[in-house]
Structures are given as structure tokens and as C-alpha cells.
A and B are shown apart, each in its own frame.
Chain A
Amino acid sequence: MIKAILIFNNHGKPRLIRFYQYFAEDMQQQIIRETFHLVSKRDDNVCNFLEGGSLIGGSDYKLIYRHYATLYFVFCVDSSESELGILDLIQVSLIYFLIYCSFNWIFIVFVETLDKCFENVCELDLIFHMDKVHYILQEVVMGGMVLETNMNEIVAQVELQNRMEKSEGGLSAAPARAVSAVKNMNLPEIPRNINIGDINIKVPNLSPF
């Protein structure tokens, strides 16, 4: 079982955090700090497996991590997970996510070398699409177990759900709806200057959101 998936940058700033076991909020932050401390000490040419820190469960758990450019991807797993398999999962799936987030394509040619991948994708894509990445991750790992590994499936399913969101207006489109609602209303001419008592309000043009 995967206990946690942590993605943080070279300074330990969290970029995506997902725990599949309950930890109190301050404990979560402590675990992130401890994991960063353990993982950032490692050279680039050593193996990608570590014993879990004491906060996350100690030697019963392993930290499987990969370091790409400015990001660390860390999976904390117990003995029921295949270490090499999880490493593959990070390599195969997570890079796909980032590419998907930044370019929003459905069919992406899988790039063999990860360094090449990361030229086109940067940490900012992960930062600004935190919610999207969570949704993609949900299609790959569920309840701490690997759900799906076929990239085309995952991308197609996420894309359809994103389309449903878009058709409703999405997270941030509320003002657009308000504007269209206003456009449909029969309003009298909006006064440009409103004077009430000693309050003077100038109403500028409503620009589209």
C-alpha cells in the first residue's frame, strides 16, 4: 500500500501532497520536512530507495523517490508494493501528468529520456494546476493502491471529466455566468454617476471577465 505521495521542490516547498493514511495537519507538515531532509541529502548517483523516516513509520516503510530538475517525487510505501514497480510508476505516469497539465494534449508521444521531458515542463505547471494534478492522480492511485496504469485511459477519462466541468463553467467561470446572466436581463440604462448623500460613485464600463 502507498502511504503517501509527496512532491516538493529543491527547497522542500510542497507542490502536491497526498496522504492515504490519516495524519493530523501539523504531523503532515512534519513528515514533509523530515522526508525532504532525508531525500535532499542523497547524491544523484545513489539508489532511489530509502528507509522511511521515524514519523512516517520507520523501517516498515520505504521511501521511493525520483529527482527531476527542481522536483522530488516521493512515494512512501509498505512491503506489499514492488519497489522497482513503483519506480516505474513514477517514471511512466508522473511525467505524463506534467506534460498533460502543461500542454493539455490527449495523445502525447512518450519521451524515453526523462531529462528531455523536463525541458518542456517546469515546476510552475505543477504549482498552478494543483487541482488538476490531484484529479489525474486520483485516476492512477486510489486508497493507496494503484488503480490504472494505461496512460491513454487515464488521460481520456480525465479529459472527459474536465469537459464536463467546462460545460458547467468550471471552477473560475462564475463571473462569466454572472455576466451572461446580466446580459440576458432587461436592465435600464446603467447610470454613470451615482450620487447619494455625500457619496459619489463613478461606474466605469463593465468589461468582459
Chain B
Amino acid sequence: MFPFESGHVRLGRRYFPSSPSRSAEAGRAAILNVSLVPLSAAKRDDSRVVLVSPRLRMPAPIRLRELIRTIRTARTQAEEREMIQKECAAIRSSFREEDNTYRCRNVAKLLYMHMLGYPAHFGQLECLKLIASQKFTDKRIGYLGAMLLLDERQDVHLLMTNCIKNDLNHSTQYVQGLALCTLGCMGSSEMCRDLAGEVEKLLKTSNSYLRKKAALCAVHVIRKVPELMEMFLPATKNLLSEKNHGVLHTSVVLLTEMCERSPDMLSHFRKLVPQLVRILKNLIMSGYSPEHDVSGISDPFLQVRILRLLRILGKGDDDSSEAMNDILAQVATNTETSKNVGNAILYETVLTIMDIKSESGLRVLAINILGRFLLNNDKNIRYVALTSLLKTVQTDHNAVQRHRSTIVDCLKDLDVSIKRSATQSVSGENICEFVLCIYSHQ
């Protein structure tokens, strides 16, 4: 079962099937495996006379689906471990063979085994080889492997930098997308420093698929190397004039990140408030758009993101808060609440109203919405309402008191999360009252 010394006929390793389940595979493998060396010409590594098709030293590695099928037949953990160890050994030998054809298949199997909890570190370098390949299939699984197996703690990851740089400039947008995705997931500070320029270039492209990915990649770069934030500033100039919702969404995330990190950026971006208000207005008034519709509401995810950014921009600033009062009132009153998506938007609106310098009428509206949430049948809504009341109790003490009895009702709720949230809503001053209330209800 191991390669013979020179001077003997050299047969492949798996000619003799090692277990019944492999016999079919081994049978097929035997055909591909036969590479016959005339005895006289037997040397260490070269000149083989091939009588059957192209020589492959190893039997073809089994496919991912077959491996999954095999592993699922294991009845015990020990059996599974044994199967996996066997396959790992096969994969390791295949890697040693430097076989380009089956590398992608082997790495896919390795990732599956990694998910089940088995060590897969020996595949790290193979992922790099796949990334460097010209084929899209190889790159795809290679980048996935890199994201799942590699991290900046391994020295190996720096070898990717050059590949990613080339792929960021690739002619195929999907390869560029893969590179952006990988950089945005696990790029180290060194990699980010090297490649920030490429990301910035892609942030200005007209290709919306790449632009949205570049925006999130930029967020990652800024998180890793905050000093680089300045370099992305020019590219943000016309991000919000995009029509594509994906780009809008990730642009708002990028702007949010920049505003949260730097007070200068925050004051710089305050001028975007009118534009954001306009976009939000269009979303609410636009009527039915099948592309972005979720339960009758137009792109709720984008609405939530914009509301969050408005919160950050309006906080502590009179002019900005003034500019958004109308739209907030509109969202608060017009949003359909029969489905969960409407409630997600309302919840975000309430938090924004409470954080900015809103008019008192608007604040009362917000608290009342929260009060309505507390009475909602959906436990998720009640939980979320209680957590926001917890945040508001510091600022709007009286308004919260009005809903005291409802909060106490929530305490009777058996759900541990809601109970904990309700208990936390009680502020220091009125804890005595609350406790009395609870006892009187029991």
C-alpha cells in the first residue's frame, strides 16, 4: 500500500481497496491509477510508460457531497472521527502531490471538516495557491477558505496581499468582488495600509456591485487603520446620489462609521441631512416598488440605517434636528405596523426622536409609540420596547412613569428576557414604588 522502491513495478497507492465502502471508488481509481514502469527503466521519479489515460498518481479524491454522505453514515463520534482522519490523510497526500486539478475539491472538503470541529490548518497554504490560480472556481473556494481558516495571527496571510492587489484590478467584477470581500473580512492592518488606495479607487467606480462592496471594505479599513479615514473623504462626496439601494445602504454604513469615529467628520457630514431626509421621504412616498418591497414597505433595512445616521447627526445640534423633525413625524405616523418590518422602522424612529433635540410634541408621540409596543402581542416588540424605555428613563422620567403599570404587567410575563428588561427599566428613585406595585399585584 505504499510506493515501492525503484526496481519494482510502481503501482498507485490505493490499488488494494482498504474498506468495503471504498471498493467502488477504488475500482474506478484502479484504472486511473495504473502507471506501469518497465522494469528495466525503473528510476526514482521519471520516465513512465503510460498505457492508460493521463497518469494520475493518486486515485481521484472523492467529491465533497460524497464525503458528506459518507460521514453521515457514521453512527458514533468515534466512527466519524475515524472517517475524517482517513480523509484528512488522503487530502494531505493529495496536497503533497501538488495536484492543481483536485485542489479546489480537497479544500472544500477541508472546510466542511473544519465546520465539524476538526483541525484544518494544513490547508491554509493550499488556499493561497487556489487564490493565485487563474480559474474562478479555484479563487472562489480559495478565498472562502482564507476567510474561514486564516487570520492575521498567521504569518501566511500576508502572502495574500499581492494576490488580492491583482484581483482588485481584475477584469472580471466577481473576482474583484471576492478580493474586496476577503479584504473586508479579514484584512490585517498591514494589508489594509497596502491596499487602501485600491479600495478607494473602487469606491468611485460606477459599477454598483463593486461600489457597495468597496464601501463596506472601507469601513473595515477604517476600523483597522483609523488614520486612513481622511483618504476616503473625497470618495464620499456623491455616494448618496446613487440610485442603487445596495450602494446607498453600504454608503450610509460608511458615513455612520466615519461620523462615530471623528467629531470633525460628524460636523462635516451634517450638511448631508437634507439629502438623507429626501431619500427617506422618497422611500416612504414612493409607493409600491417590487424590487425593495418587504411586506408592503419599501426597503425597510435602508430606512432603518438612514434613521440611525440621522440620530447621530442630529444629536446635540439644533439645526439638524429641526431639519428632520417633519420626516420623523411622518415616519412615526404613517408606518404600517401590522408586520414586524414596520415595527423595526418605528422603533428606530423612536430612538432617533429621543436622542435628538426634537420638539416636545414629537417626544410625546415617541413615548406613546413605545407604550403601544408594550401592549403588543408580539413578545419581540415588548422586549425591544422595554429596552428602549430603559434608555429613555434617564431623560424622560415622567413619560416613562405614565406606563408604569404596563411595565409591571411585563414583570408577570414568564419570559426571562422580558422580565430582566422590565426590572432594569426601574430607575433608582422610584424603585420603592415599583416594588410596592409588584407586591400589590401578587
Contact = CB atoms under 8 A, between A and B. Distances in A.
Q: Is this pair of chains taken from one and the same complex?
A: yes
Interface of A: 14, 16-18, 20, 22, 25-26, 28-29, 45-51, 82-85, 87-89, 91-92, 127-128, 130-131, 134-135, 138, 142-150, 152-153, 157, 160-161, 164-165, 168-172, 174-175, 177-178, 181-182, 185, 187, 190-191, 194, 196-197, 199, 201, 203-204, 206
B417 A46 contact: yes
Contact of A91 (B51, B117, B340): B340
Nearest to B118: A25
Contacts of B101: 174, 177-178
19 contacts: A14-B116, A28-B117, A29-B117, A82-B304, A82-B344, A82-B347, A84-B340, A84-B344, A88-B294, A131-B64, A138-B181, A143-B185, A143-B220, A146-B253, A149-B245, A171-B137, A174-B101, A182-B54, A185-B54
Given A17-B115, A204-B31, A84 B384 contact: yes
Contacts of B152: 22
B246 A168 contact: no
A48 B380 CA distance: 6
B344 to A, nearest CB: 4
A168 B51 CA distance: 28
A128 B65 contact: yes
B12 to A, nearest CB: 11
B371 interface: no
A191 B63 contact: no
Chain A interface main SS type: mixed
A161 B382 CA distance: 42
A131 B246 contact: no
Nearest to B117: A29
Interface in B104-118: 104-105, 108, 111-112, 114-117
Contact of B36 (A131, A153, A196): A196
B253 A145 contact: yes
Report which residue of A84, A150, A160 has the largest number of chain B beta carbons within 10 angstroms of its beta carbon: A84
A181 B291 CA distance: 45
A142 B213 contact: yes
Contacts of B220: 143
Interface string B206-226: 000100110011011000000
B52 interface: yes
Given A131-B108, A143-B216, A172-B63, A165 B245 contact: no
A187 B292 contact: no
B314 interface: no
Contacts of B104: 171
Contact of B417 (A47, A143, A185, A190): A47
B185 A142 contact: yes
Contacts of B111: 130-131
A87 B340 contact: yes
Given A47-B379, A135-B144, A22 B151 contact: yes
Contact of A164 (B151, B174, B300, B417): B174
A194 B380 CA distance: 72
Interface string B127-159: 000000001110011001000100111000000
B60 A20 contact: no
Contacts of A92: 294
Contact of B291 (A134, A143, A150): A150
A88 B301 contact: yes
B246 A150 contact: yes
Contacts of A168: 135-137
B299 interface: yes
B51 A172 contact: no
Given A88-B294, A196-B36, A171 B64 contact: yes
A150 B292 contact: yes
B52 A128 contact: no
A168 to B, nearest CB: 5
B161 interface: no
Given A45-B379, A84-B384, A142-B216, A194 B341 contact: no
Contacts of A196: 9, 36
Interface in B384-439: 384, 414-418
Contacts of B219: 143, 145
Report which residue of A82, A83, A153, A185 has the largest number of chain B beta carbons within 10 angstroms of its beta carbon: A82
Nearest to B32: A178
* 5 closest Cβ pairs, A-B complex: A84-B344, A47-B379, A143-B184, A29-B117, A22-B151
Contacts of B172: 164
Given A22-B152, A170-B137, 19 more contacts: A25-B117, A46-B379, A47-B415, A84-B344, A88-B300, A88-B341, A131-B64, A142-B184, A147-B212, A149-B245, A149-B292, A165-B140, A171-B64, A171-B104, A172-B105, A174-B102, A182-B53, A199-B9, A203-B52
A177 to B, nearest CB: 8
B320 interface: no
B114 A25 contact: yes
Contacts of A153: 246
A57 to B, nearest CB: 16
A152 B291 contact: yes
B249 interface: yes
Contacts of B249: 146-149
B325 interface: no
Interface in B249-289: 249-250, 253
B174 A130 contact: no
B34 interface: yes
